[in-house]
Amino acid sequence: MSTPHIGAKKGDFAKTVLMPGDPLRAKYIAENYLTDTRLVNEVRGMLGYTGSYHGKRVSVMASGMGIPSMGIYSYELFRFFDVDNIIRIGTAGAISEKLKLRDVVLVMSSATNSNFAAQYRLPGTPAPTADYALLKKADDKARQYGKTVSVGSVFCSDTFYDDANSLEQWKKLGILAIEMESAALYFNAARTGKKALCICTISDCPLTGESCSAEERQTTFNDMIRIALECVE
């Protein structure tokens, strides 16, 4: 069945979906890494493809930007299209001084200023976390490639332009980086009994002003793409 946001049928998506934020990154992955690829969604320009990677069926679809957009697309994939695993492959801004441009971060947990979890009416503050098996597999695959990755917590922000300027405070808590989608993905996976992992490449360093170009963000973050694809079963 299709939804208001995904014009696909059941069976069009593989059990594992890679989710970059940018539709053009989804297109890049489909064209450069997958074989026997077909377009399964283009509603609202959120391009989605299904193909094969080394004989394993896998899909890739954009999530758009921010918690609301990721919240919609990941929920629909989990709930209506029988997807079991979603691996976000996106960008993040470095908070930790240990990180530099193009470093890869495996997101173990996601602190957030979002009110997304209020819908669950819990008597406390839930902690959105990755699926351990996916996290461990990604870490193992990175080591096999000889790629050094950082594993830890990020801050998932509801705002891109933030008057509070709180990054130094998050830095004191050991937060590695800032991004805008992981919390919604992890909450949706937990609520639906599915699995999720967020793999991010550092595209900018807000505290120093360094950044990658838009073209580099779209096409050159290949380490996280390979790591994510190797996690497909």
121: how many CB neighbours lie within 10 A of its CB? 6
Tokens of 13: 């998506």
C-alpha torsion angle, residues 38, 76, 178, 62 (rounded to 10): 20
Residues with a known catalytic role: 204
The helix or strand, by DSSP H or E, that contains position 144, with its residue range, turns out to be helix 132-145
C-alpha torsion angle, residues 86, 156, 100, 225 (rounded to 10): 10
DSSP label of 97: T
Q: What is the distance between the alpha carbons of residues 141 and 228, in angstroms, rounded to a whole number? A: 9
- If we measure between CA atoms, which residue out of 51, 178, 8, 209 comes closest to residue 105? 178
Report in angstroms the alpha-carbon separations of 189 from 1, 74, 150, 186.
Answer: 20, 8, 22, 5
DSSP 199-229: EEEEEEETTTTEE--HHHHHH--HHHHHHHH
